[in-house]
Amino acid sequence: MANEKIVARTGNEAMAEAMRQINPDVVAAYPITPATEVVQIFAGYVADGIVDTEFVPVESEHSAMSACIGSSAAGGRTMTGTSSQGLALMAEMLYIAAGLRLPIVMADVNRALSSPINIHCDHSDTMMVRDAGWIQIFSENCQEAYDNMLQAVRIAETAKLPVVVTTDGFIISHGMERLEILSDEDAKNFVGEYKPENYLLNFDKPITVGALDLTDYYFEHKRQQVEAIKDSKKVILDVAKEFGTKYGRTYGLFEQYKMDDAQIAIVAMGSTAGTTKVVVDELRKNGVKAGLIKPRVFRPFPKEELAEALKNVKAIAVMDRSDSMNAQEGPLCVEVKAALFDADIKVPVLNYIYGLGGREIKLEDINFVYNELTDAVSGKSKNRISYLGVRE
Amino acid sequence: MANLKDLSKQKALFTGGHRACAGCGAAIVARQVLMAAGPNTVVASATGCLEVVSTIFPFTAWNTPFVHSAFENAAASISGVESLYKSWVRQGKYSKKINFIAFGGDGGTYDIGLQSLSGAMERGHNILYVCYNNEAYMNTGVQRSGATPKGADTTTAPVGKIKKGKEQYRKDLTEIIAAHRVPYVAQSVVGNWRDLTSKVEKALSIDGPKFINVFQPCRLGWGYDPEMTCEMGRISVDTCVWPLYEVVNGQYKVSKPKEKKPVYEWLKLQSRFRHILKPENKPLLDDIQAATDKNWEMLLKKESFTAPAVEIKQA
């Protein structure tokens, strides 16, 4: 704690700062709003020679992830950053990075997907690639973005899985906040040195990466990958515990805010969780037993843990900042409901699709949701999907 | 330059036992390129015949580090490997001299991988990209590509009642890459090991991005007997269908055949051009001959125009 410095930084600056301290071997990236600054600031560090990184200014996000895969397979600590359409263009390579078990770390600034084209925040980009096999970590604010980036490197290299750390576009990426940063030495010690096990540049043990699996091996390899993502829960918790012990900021798979005696709870990810905390505090003053669950880790999904945390509430609202276009609940709500079903928890679950394309979510909106939850507890409101803040 | 005897004594970096067709030209390209490159070579490959036949898990034909990730990105993949190498060398973590070679078929190079290739060439990575160009998507079953010549019968531009195979001329990728002003661009062929290995050696002696477009007869897609592969390559050169040349720092150097043969001599050996040999398709044959002649003359003009050397240095 003593070595920490308190500064004012935007989310993008915080992520770039973490990348400077991580000092990866290779960063390959392509500009896209609102993530551009992350790699733009980083390119400045490269230009000034204050990092050892080879910066590869590729011609597309597809090549960004392809170059990252090449670099990571060759044995290097490798990072990138993107958003929205960039993440979509990378999609093919995201699955491959995960299947090859490469510990690439990516900053993703959540932004709506086209069409219509829109540069503002929602989670549809990250949700689009939720099954790509990457560990997905959401950040509520600049501090979490910074802390998550440092932890992501350790998580990725221990779990042998790629990790994406997200912030909410503009809301966090361009919002300036108070940020406690570790000393360079502490950050360096925390992330440690990367020692790859098998890598292309090791000519003593030449390897073939990306072989063709047919009917006789593909299933087994995917099964192992499933096990790796399951096991990564423990890795994430171990790394968080070490980080918390050393630097005082504790993290888990999700955050529980005033959940101990909560009767109604909202489940929300990213910056909206911050807004929700303000409302919870206000409601608590009036005796309403409101709580919040903020999933930090969406992949692997903390199914059992989340159900356990929600077992005593009387009604739940799940806030989805994207829509699956599946004529049922949004992606987060589908997961939460599956978790509740297997835990035999049968309480009203209201799903709110909100904030698409950066539509503002206000305190009043969250307050409205808690009011509906109170109605649901008394049987006045049933399971349903609502679109919060839309004109219709 | 190594002689054939020396080359044959080297440890094979691309081994036998792979699953390529009898008479496969792509396997010959891989073997000869790696013979010329020697040890300390990292290979990246695009998805395609070469990758599919050589890495069926748990086997691999590569006695050297090899990476494949997708179809359209061999150039980006190898640029990532090379960037890591540069980073490690700068950090004092690595000192060995390494060759970085990417292989892609014409589908993965002319078409879906063109953007990735162009980006890697423009960024100036110290890599050699080798296109094994068999003029169609052979791995998926002979579909037309941007490299497929006019008149060829493919499964997506087939000869039918009203169509006579591919209706467009092939694109000139070698010239597209030459327009990137990279230090070394060349065309070579299966069937002339000396030309290919010496070009690979030369390319790898030059710092910066290099590109060699190797014409690779495919017995399946072209329709000829498997023992004819090398001969097919040589006839491609003799007919000027595939001229052998280099562009070294902007200067063209063309290898002229002793006697320029008519394109008919090349076409008649391949079932994909069978229809062109019919008398009623004489205009198409004439068209192909004229286009070949024009391309050849243009190339000779470029050679004379660029001599003596116009030095173009890579930034």
**Mean pLDDT for each consecutive 10-residue tract of chain A (392 residues)?**
84 98 98 97 98 98 98 98 98 98 98 98 98 98 98 98 98 98 98 97 98 98 98 98 97 98 98 98 98 98 98 98 97 98 97 98 98 94 90 94
Contacts A–B by Cβ distance under 8 A: 165
Q: Structure tokens of A101?
A: 């078990």
Distance between CA atoms of residues B125 and B121, nearest Å: 7
Is B292:B241 a contact under the CB 8 Å cutoff? Answer: yes
Please provide the size of chain A in residues.
Answer: 392
The amino acid at B263: V
Cβ contact A200–B67 (<8 Å): yes
Phi and psi for A263 in degrees, rounded to 5?
-105, -25
A332 and A383 both lie in a single domain: yes
Cβ contact B119–A200 (<8 Å): no
A130 and A270 both lie in a single domain: no
CA proximity to B62, closest of A28, A212, A292: A212
To test the contact with chain B by mutation, choose from A80, A209, A218 the residue with the greatest count of B C-beta atoms within 10 A, namely A209
> Closest Cα of chain A to B100: distance in Å?
11
* A118 three-state secondary structure: coil
> Which residues in chain B are contacts of A195 at CB distance < 8 A?
none
A276 and A206 both lie in a single domain: no
Going from the C-alpha of B301 to that of each of A197, B173, B179, B259, the distances in angstroms are: 54, 18, 16, 18
- What per-residue confidence (pLDDT) applies to A297? 98
Cβ contact B76–A57 (<8 Å): no
Residue B310 has pLDDT above 60, yes or no: no
A241 and A261 both lie in a single domain: no
Q: Given B57, B79, B87, which is nearest A52 (Cβ)?
A: B87
- What per-residue confidence (pLDDT) applies to B308? 78
A70 and A202 both lie in a single domain: yes
Phi and psi for B306 in degrees, rounded to 5?
-95, 0
Residue B127 has pLDDT above 80, yes or no: yes
- What per-residue confidence (pLDDT) applies to B8? 80
A209 and A267 both lie in a single domain: no
Domain-ending residue, one of A200, A221, A247: A247
> Burial level of B278, CB count in 10 A (0-12/13-18/19+)?
exposed
- Counted domains in chain A: 2
**A256 Cα distance to chain centroid:** 17
The ipTM value here is: 0.96
Q: Given A68, A72, A212, which is nearest B55 (Cβ)?
A: A212
Domain-ending residue, one of A247, A278, A310: A247
Q: Structure tokens of B216?
A: 């690779």
> What is the CATH architecture assignment of B4-305?
3-Layer(aba) Sandwich (3.40)
- What per-residue confidence (pLDDT) applies to B10? 83
Q: Given A59, A74, A209, which is nearest B84 (Cβ)?
A: A74
CA proximity to A332, closest of A323, A342, A345, A343: A323
- What per-residue confidence (pLDDT) applies to B4? 79
Peptide bond into B257 cis (omega under 30): no
> Which residues in chain A are contacts of B70 at CB distance < 8 A?
66, 92-93, 96
- What per-residue confidence (pLDDT) applies to A244? 98
CATH of the domain at A122: 3.40.50.970
Going from the C-alpha of B65 to that of each of A38, A121, B14, B129, B203, the distances in angstroms are: 32, 42, 11, 16, 20
Contacts of A266 (CB under 8 A, 6+ apart): A276, A280, A290, A291, A292, A293, A316, A317, A318, A319, A366, A369, A370, A373
A207 and A266 both lie in a single domain: no
Domain limits for position A281: 254-388
CATH of the domain at A356: 3.40.50.920
Q: Given A26, A73, A214, which is nearest B87 (Cβ)?
A: A26
Going from the C-alpha of B133 to that of each of B81, B187, B247, the distances in angstroms are: 24, 10, 18
B68: left (phi over 0), alpha (psi -120 to 50) or beta: beta
A258 and A242 both lie in a single domain: no
Cβ contact B67–A70 (<8 Å): yes
A200 and A270 both lie in a single domain: no
A187 and A313 both lie in a single domain: no
Mean pLDDT of the region B151-164: 97
Phi and psi for B14 in degrees, rounded to 5?
-115, 110
- Which sequence spans correspond to the domains of chain B? 4-305
A259 and A340 both lie in a single domain: yes
A235 and A356 both lie in a single domain: no
Distance between CA atoms of residues A115 and A118, nearest Å: 8
Residue B312 has pLDDT above 70, yes or no: no
Confidence of residue B152 (pLDDT cuts 50, 70, 90): very high
Residue B1 has pLDDT above 70, yes or no: no
